[in-house]
Amino acid sequence: MLRVVHYLNQFFGQIGGEDKASIPPMVKEGPVGPGMAFKGSFGDKAEIVATVICGDSYFNENIEKATQEILQMIERYKPDVFIAGPAFNAGRYGTACGTICKAVQDKFGIPAVTGMYPENPGVDLYKKHVYIIKTTDSAAGMKNAVSKMASLALKLGFKEPIGAPEEEGYIPRGIRKNIFVEERASKRAVEMLIKKLKGEPFTTECPMPDFDRVPPAKAVNVKEALIALVTSGGIVPKGNPDHIESSSASKYGKYSIEGIDNLTSETHETAHGGYDPVYANEDPDRVLPVDALRELEREGKIGKLYNYYYATVGNGTSVANAKRFAQNIAKELLEAKVQAVILTST
Amino acid sequence: MVKELERAGIPTVHVCTIVPISKTVGANRIVPAVAIPHPLGNPSLGPKEEYALRKKLVEKALKALETDIEGQTVFE
């Protein structure tokens, strides 16, 4: 029977919500939470001997330290296979799962499997290094994710051959494998071309990597520049007048800070549901530094702070939405002759 | 969002705690922040010290906007 160690965040590890996101790693013997579902899928082929649980904020604020602490905990259990998550579209959780999986593979030489929604930032960071089962964006897809992760973990653990990404359900790792096929390449290429011309679906054998990088914009003289604040940290006027959603935001807000020197718990709050809101609600300047920029404006260190700021909630927000928000915001900022932006994220 | 603002030609500095995420989404100017629930503050400090810390981080962000860069740069 294979020995498996499982990694979970504070939420799936049943410790608590965002108020517990700062807990350091701990270890529990046996399966916890989603580990029970894995137990069902593993049957008598593998056993979760221990579960490591760590707060998402703790992990991401102390990536190197937390990784070392967790590796020490895992070592004692001598696992044959390591699993993490699934993390769905939770960014901090996905980053943690990817980091730990890679560290475990590198240090102990054992295989690791995690699961994420393709837009999770952990995917781009770790897909080359780690098997990441493609999941839905929320825990509604737990059952399917667990069954695919478990099946891949068993195959890896028993050193069975691993199929192509679409067969096993993992996100392509950019690895090319030579295979034998019936038809020669020229025939396959022509068939594909005919399908393409007819507008029929076809699968390329050689997908191009998707590099989307933007060259840095030119520096500005901030002493003369009009500077705007933008945040994905959800800072909104008290009462959240535009009803920006606490997760998977479908909109952003534009709010006046004309004549405002300082954000306070009376005037502003956070609408973000993905971090402990206590500190931001107590003093919203901790996320959107209006007070410091006003002072720098008075000191002549910036030309002017733009009279409006833009805010949305970056919590499981789709890339398509974030892109659209920013394109609209950029258009308005350019019309307002804003020359530079400080964007804060939680 | 950072990437789209820069694509429109507006120099944008990303002040955030999880630098690897900022890098992977394609921010060019990155200033590491304090912590996820309070990127520009630290509730364990006194009000004066906390404000001084925030001002320093904002000044670092301004410095980043003033600096011409070739590729992704983290302003420590």
Give the gyration radius of chain B's Cα atoms.
Answer: 13
Q: Between chains, do B6 and A214 touch, taking CB under 8 Å as contact?
A: yes
Residue A176: which pLDDT band, with cuts at 50, 70 and 90? confident
Q: Between chains, do B40 and A286 touch, taking CB under 8 Å as contact?
A: yes
Mean pLDDT of A172-195: 89
B73 contacts in chain A (CB < 8 Å): 216
Mean pLDDT of A19-36: 96
* B28 inside 8 A of chain A by CB: yes
Q: Between chains, do B4 and A346 touch, taking CB under 8 Å as contact?
A: no
The C-alpha atoms of residue A296 and residue B61 are separated, in whole angstroms, by: 12
Interface with chain A: mutation pick from B28, B36, B75, highest number of A CBs within 10 Å: B36
Judge whether residue A58 has pLDDT over 80: yes
pLDDT of residue A203: 83
For residues A307 and A294, is the Cβ–Cβ distance under 8 A?
A: no
Q: Confirm whether pTM is higher than 0.95.
A: no
Interface with chain A: mutation pick from B2, B3, B7, B10, highest number of A CBs within 10 Å: B10
Q: Distance (Å) from the C-alpha of residue B45 to the closest C-alpha of chain A? A: 12
Residues A107-135: pLDDT tens digits?
999 999 999 999 999 999 999 999 999 99
As a whole number, the mean pLDDT across chain A is 95
* A269 inside 8 A of chain B by CB: no
Domain count, chain B: 1
CA dihedral defined by A310, A313, A316, A317, rounded to 10 degrees?
Answer: -30
pLDDT of residue A210: 67
* A300 inside 8 A of chain B by CB: no
pLDDT of residue A8: 98
Question: Structural domains in chain A?
Answer: 2-168 (3.40.50.2000), 226-344 (no CATH)
Q: Between chains, do A326 and B3 touch, taking CB under 8 Å as contact?
A: yes
A195: helix, strand or coil: helix
Q: Between chains, do A296 and B4 touch, taking CB under 8 Å as contact?
A: no
- The phi-psi region of residue A43 (left if phi > 0; otherwise alpha if psi is between -120 and 50; otherwise beta) is left
* A37 inside 8 A of chain B by CB: no
Residue of B nearest to A92 (CA): B18
Q: Between chains, do B68 and A218 touch, taking CB under 8 Å as contact?
A: yes
What residues make up the domain containing B54?
2-74
Residues A133-170: pLDDT tens digits?
999 999 999 999 999 999 999 999 999 999 989 899 99
Beta strands A304-311 and A226-231 are: parallel
The C-alpha atoms of residue A120 and residue A101 are separated, in whole angstroms, by: 15
Nearest to B5 among A95, A121, A330 (CB): A330
Strands across the sheet containing A112-116: A26-29, A46-54, A2-9, A81-88, A112-116, A131-134
**% residues pLDDT > 90 (chain A):** 90
For residues A35 and A79, is the Cβ–Cβ distance under 8 A?
A: no
Q: Distance (Å) from the C-alpha of residue A30 to the closest C-alpha of chain B? A: 30
Q: Residue A211: CA atoms inside 13 Å, Cβ hemisphere, count? A: 4
DSSP one-letter string for A236-269: EETT-TT---SSS----EEEE-TT-----TTTEE
B43 contacts in chain A (CB < 8 Å): 279, 282, 286
Residues A290-309: pLDDT tens digits?
999 999 999 999 999 999 99
Residue of B nearest to A337 (CA): B10
Judge whether residue A209 has pLDDT over 70: no
Residue A259: which pLDDT band, with cuts at 50, 70 and 90? very high
